[in-house]
Chains A and B, each alone.
Chain A
Amino acid sequence: MEEFQVINNYLMIKLPEEVDHHQATTICKKADHYILQQNVSNVVFDFEDTKFMDSSGIGIIMGRYRKISCFGGKVYAIHMDKKMERMFDMAGLNKIVEVLE
């Protein structure tokens, strides 16, 4: 299961083991609730538990970026594996998301 945590101005999202369209629907809904209700301006996606991702994961990040970037917020990603990085690069997300270590 995905987990959400708000620390100061940051929404931390620990993504589930499998990030597909089925999971993405709820993740987007919950994330937007936090972004709107709790006024967070930055979002951190943590892939530590994630073993599978398809293009739905790219869509989650693009959508959240669109929601927060107009207010000057930033998007971060941590614990990505090689394949996720390749998918990020192909979609051009490496230009808008700061990938941490």
Chain B
Amino acid sequence: MMTQMNEQKNEMEISFDAVSQNESFARVAVAAFVTHLNPTMEEIDDVRTAVSEAVTNAIIHGYEKRDCGKVYLHCRLKGDVLQIEVMDKGKGIENIERAMEPLFTTRPDLDRSGMGFAFMEAFMDDLEVESEVGKGTTIRMTKKLGSSAWVDSED
């Protein structure tokens, strides 16, 4: 019961230009946002991979590398659950189901592997994709962090 009352909440929101230098910036920002939860190295690395995939997709597919849009990154912490939203106002996805198939890519010419969505799905607990052609794409992912959290709840 106590754990419920003390459940921590935290939120952060940033937006940045859709340029490839900001891929590492986004990973660092999210990793820093969750450090106080003492996540394991694996958890942090999984989150960094997922953020990198979603942000890279916004830059190269959403805005098609035209360097003329913003990527919106929104993180929420509810207790030890991290929720990440990555949004772009780019071209949108025509067929979401097909886009999410492993190895499917519309840009093999750019040396893309088609594994982005597969990795987001594998390394996070939950993944949701919302997209409208001509309007943009929103990726929502969640992951429970800090495998050591059970220590508090010995009531």
Question: Does A associate with B in a complex?
Answer: yes
A interface with B by C-beta (< 8 Å): 18, 20-22, 24-25, 28, 52-56, 58-60, 62-63, 83, 86-87, 90-92
Is B80 interfacial (CB 8 A cutoff)? Answer: no
Chain B residues with CB under 8 A of A91: 102-103, 113, 115, 118
Partner of B49, one of A22, A24, A54, A59: A54
Bound Cα distance from A7 to B119, whole angstroms: 34
Known interface pairs A55-B53, A62-B111. Does A90 touch B119 (Cβ–Cβ under 8 Å)?
Answer: yes
- Evaluate contact between A21 and B49: CB separation under 8 angstroms: no
- The proximity string for B residues 13-55 relative to A, scoring 1 for CB distances below 8 Å and 0 otherwise, is 0000000110110010000000000000010010011001100
Chain B residues with CB under 8 A of A62: 111, 113
Bound Cα distance from A95 to B48, whole angstroms: 27
Where chain B touches its partner, the secondary structure class is helix
Bound Cα distance from A24 to B116, whole angstroms: 14
- Evaluate contact between B111 and A59: CB separation under 8 angstroms: yes
Known interface pairs A21-B59, A22-B21, A22-B24. Does A58 touch B115 (Cβ–Cβ under 8 Å)?
Answer: yes
Bound Cα distance from A59 to B109, whole angstroms: 10
Is B56 interfacial (CB 8 A cutoff)? Answer: yes
Q: Can you pick out 23 interface pairs between chain A and chain B where the beta carbons lie within 8 Å of each other?
A: A20-B20, A22-B21, A22-B23, A22-B24, A25-B20, A28-B111, A52-B49, A53-B49, A54-B52, A55-B53, A55-B118, A56-B56, A56-B113, A58-B115, A59-B115, A60-B111, A62-B111, A86-B122, A87-B115, A90-B102, A90-B119, A91-B102, A92-B103
